[in-house]
Chains A and B, each alone.
Chain A
Amino acid sequence: MTEQTLLERPLAVPAYSARTSTARRRLNGLLPYAFVIPPALYLLVFMFWPLGKQIYLSLTRTRLANPNRSTFIGLRNYERLLDNPDFYTTLKITLIYSVMAVIVGVAVGLVAALALNRPFPGRTLVRGILLFGWAVPNVAAALVWLWIFNERSGILNTIVTGLGLERVSWLTSTEMALPSILLVTVWQVSPFVMLVMLAALQSVPEEVKEAAVVDGADKLNVFKSVTLPHILPTLQLVSLLVMVWSIRRFDIIYLLTGGGPVGSTSTLIVKLRQVAFENHDLGLSSAYGVVGLMLALSVAAIHALFNHRRQKMSSR
Chain B
Amino acid sequence: MPQITMKGVSKNFGDVTVIPQFDASIDDGEFLVLLGPSGCGKSTLLRMIAGLTGITSGTLGFDGEDVNEWTPSRRGVAFVFQSYALYPHMTVRENIAFPLLMDAFRKWHHIPLVSSVMRWKLMRRPDIVERTNQIAEQLELTPLMNRRPASLSGGQRQRVALARSLVRDPSLYLLDEPLSNLDAKLRTQMRSEISTLHQRVRKTFVYVTHDQVEAMTMATKIIVMNRGEIQQIGTPDEIYEHPANTFVARFVGAPPMNLLPVRQQGQQLTLEAGATFTHPGQLPADKELILGLRPERLRLQPAEQPGIPVEVSVVEKLGAEVILGCRVLHPGGGQSGDLLRQDLVFVRISGNPHVAIGTRASLGYDAAGVNWYSPQTGKALHPAAAPLLSCSA
Q: A residues within 8 Å of B by Cβ?
A: 205, 207-208, 210-218, 220-221, 224-226, 229-230, 313-316
Q: Is B52 an interface residue (CB 8 A)?
A: yes
Q: Is the interface of A mostly helix, strand, loop or mixed?
A: helix
A314 lies within 8 A of B88 (CB) = yes
A316 lies within 8 A of B72 (CB) = no
Residues in B with CB closer than 8 Å to A230 are 88-89
Query: A224-B115, A315-B150 in contact; A215/B83 too (CB < 8 A)?
Result: no
B103 lies within 8 A of A216 (CB) = yes
List 7 interface pairs A-B (beta carbons < 8 Å), by A numbering.
A207-B85, A208-B86, A213-B52, A213-B72, A214-B79, A217-B102, A315-B148
Residues in B with CB closer than 8 Å to A226 are 87
A208 lies within 8 A of B87 (CB) = yes
Residues in A with CB closer than 8 Å to B110 are 220-221
* Whole-angstrom CA separation of A220 from B150 in the bound complex: 25
Q: Is B99 an interface residue (CB 8 A)?
A: yes
Residues in A with CB closer than 8 Å to B102 are 212, 215-217, 221
Using A217-B98, A221-B110, A230-B88 as known contacts, list a sample of 10 further A-B pairs with CB atoms less than 8 Å apart, ordered by residue number in A. A205-B83, A207-B85, A210-B79, A211-B85, A213-B73, A215-B99, A216-B73, A224-B115, A229-B88, A315-B151
B105 lies within 8 A of A221 (CB) = yes
Interface size class, chain B: 20 to 34
Q: B residues within 8 Å of A by Cβ?
A: 50, 52, 71-73, 77-79, 81-83, 85-91, 98-99, 102-103, 105, 110, 115, 146-148, 150-151, 164, 168
A210 lies within 8 A of B52 (CB) = yes
A215 lies within 8 A of B148 (CB) = no
Residues in A with CB closer than 8 Å to B103 are 216
* Whole-angstrom CA separation of A316 from B94 in the bound complex: 14
Most buried by B among A212, A216, A218: A216
Which residue on A lies nearest to B147, using beta carbons? Answer: A316
Which residue on A lies nearest to B71, using beta carbons? Answer: A213
Which residue on B lies nearest to A225, using beta carbons? Answer: B87
Query: A208-B86, A229-B89, A314-B89 in contact; A214/B72 too (CB < 8 A)?
Result: yes
Query: A205-B83, A210-B52, A314-B89 in contact; A215/B147 too (CB < 8 A)?
Result: no
Query: A213-B73, A216-B103 in contact; A314/B150 too (CB < 8 A)?
Result: yes
Which residue on A lies nearest to B80, using beta carbons? Answer: A211
Query: A220-B110, A224-B115, A225-B87 in contact; A214/B73 too (CB < 8 A)?
Result: yes
**CB-contact partner of B151 in A217, A224, A225, A316, under 8 A:** A316
Residues in B with CB closer than 8 Å to A220 are 110
Which residue on A lies nearest to B94, using beta carbons? Answer: A225
B79 lies within 8 A of A211 (CB) = yes
Chain A nearest CB, measured from B287 CB (Å) = 52
Residues in A with CB closer than 8 Å to B89 are 229-230, 314
B99 lies within 8 A of A216 (CB) = yes
Which residue on B lies nearest to A215, using beta carbons? Answer: B99
A207 lies within 8 A of B151 (CB) = no
B52 lies within 8 A of A225 (CB) = no
* Whole-angstrom CA separation of A258 from B89 in the bound complex: 46
Chain A nearest CB, measured from B239 CB (Å) = 30
Residues in B with CB closer than 8 Å to A229 are 87-89
Residues in A with CB closer than 8 Å to B85 are 205, 207-208, 210-211
* Whole-angstrom CA separation of A7 from B163 in the bound complex: 41
Chain B nearest CB, measured from A313 CB (Å) = 8
Chain B nearest CB, measured from A102 CB (Å) = 19
B105 lies within 8 A of A214 (CB) = no
* Whole-angstrom CA separation of A205 from B147 in the bound complex: 21
B88 lies within 8 A of A208 (CB) = yes
Chain B nearest CB, measured from A117 CB (Å) = 18
* Whole-angstrom CA separation of A15 from B368 in the bound complex: 63
* Whole-angstrom CA separation of A225 from B123 in the bound complex: 14
Chain B nearest CB, measured from A309 CB (Å) = 13
Most buried by A among B77, B91, B99, B103: B99
Which residue on A lies nearest to B167, using beta carbons? Answer: A215
Residues in A with CB closer than 8 Å to B79 are 210-211, 214
* Whole-angstrom CA separation of A225 from B110 in the bound complex: 12
A211 lies within 8 A of B81 (CB) = yes
